[in-house]
Amino acid sequence: MDEMEHSTVQDLIPLYAIGALAPDEIAPVEEHLAGCAACRALLSEYQLVAEELLEQVPERRAPDRIGIWLENQTRRPARRAPSTRRPSDAPKAEPFWRRAIAVPGWAFALAALAVLLAIGINALWLLQSARATAGTDDGVARLISAPDRKSIELVATGQAPGAHGQLVYAPGSRVCLLALDGLAPLPPENAYQVWLLHDKERSSAGLFNTNAQGQAVVVLQAPDSITEYNEIGVTVEPARGSPAPTTPRLLGGKLD
């Protein structure tokens, strides 16, 4: 690409500084900048303008739950070693409580069936919908085959009489299966949210809704090893999830 004229670049630099150039205009400008001190000085002036623009947006109070969420994300035990964290380890953009439920595959269906049968839930709805999709969920597959697999019962509080559930997990694993029955299907604006408690610290482990019969089977992805937690609980929250419970617990159980 031919090098741009100095005067042409000078006219483009303000647009470059605020990101208003078309993609095909950027490379020639940067090429010229690399060899032209005068244009770099000019760019610095307009970068200050751009920085001032950033500062001029009126402040707006952020929702308190962002701070709570951040605290929840960064103050769990056995936290990171930054120097060893790879970029691929970075969490995705969505709030963690929204992406906590794994996508079910055929292994999920099998495991869910085992759990459902164990607690007497009619799993026909699940089997009908869980087709043999491509791939497997390794975490669930390991859970199914784990020799030290455990299960605990979730008991309803007075808020959800008749509800019951079972959690299947393997010590040391983050993946666990939760099967529930006797819960009322929620409207679209709400979801059930699963909480794991470590001492008095709560972490969200996923959102779900039930089928029309009030049943649900969910794969939970705990933020840390499941054995790091003492209790599990379920509440009703907004459909997007909540950083902390906002309604009374419906079911709960103590982890070994």
- Residue where the block lists tokens 């964290």: 85
Least distance (Å) between residue 172 CB and other proteins? 23
* CA angle centred on 13, ends 12 and 16, rounded to 5°: 90
d(CA 175, CA 92): 18
Instruction: Return the number of the residue (18 or 27) whose C-beta is nearest other proteins.
Output: 18
Tokens found for residue 55: 């500062």
Give the residue among 254, 255, 233, 253 at the shortest CA–CA distance from 244: 233
117 binds other proteins (CB under 8 A): no
Interface with other proteins by CB under 8 A: which range of 85-93, 142-150, 207-215, 225-233? 85-93
Query: Token pair of 130, please?
Result: 């869980």
- Is there binding between residue 7 and other proteins (CB under 8 A)? no
- Residue 184: how many CB atoms within 10 A of its CB? 13
Tokens 């990171």 label which residue? 80
Residue span binding other proteins (CB under 8 A) among the ranges 75-83, 118-126, 156-164, 213-221: 75-83
Among 74, 103, 128, 188, binds other proteins (CB under 8 A): 74
94 makes contact with other proteins (CB under 8 A): yes
114 is written with which tokens?
A: 């085992």
Q: For residues 234-253, which are near other proteins according to CB under 8 A?
A: 240
Compose the 19-48 pattern: x for residues touching other proteins by CB under 8 A, - for all others.
Answer: xxxxx---------------------xx-x
49 is a site residue for other proteins (CB under 8 A): yes
Distance CA 167, CA 115 (A): 8
179: tokens are 């099967």
**Closer residue to other proteins (CB): 13 or 183:** 13
The binder of other proteins chosen from 30, 71, 138, 153 (CB under 8 A): 71
Six-digit token pair at 209?
């809704």
Q: Are 231 and 181 in contact (CB under 8 A)?
A: no
Q: Return the residues of window 160-189 that contact other proteins according to CB under 8 A.
A: none
Q: Using the minimum distance from each CB to other proteins, give the nearer residue, 83 or 128.
A: 83
CA atoms within 13 A of residue 22's CA, in its CB half-sphere: 2
What's the min distance (Å) between Cβ of 98 and other proteins? 9
**Cα 64 → chain centroid:** 18
Segment near other proteins (CB under 8 A); pick from 93-101, 141-149, 165-173, 245-253: 93-101
Chain positions contacting other proteins, by CB under 8 A = 11, 14-15, 17-23, 45-46, 48-63, 65-67, 69-71, 73-75, 79-83, 85, 89-91, 93-95, 240
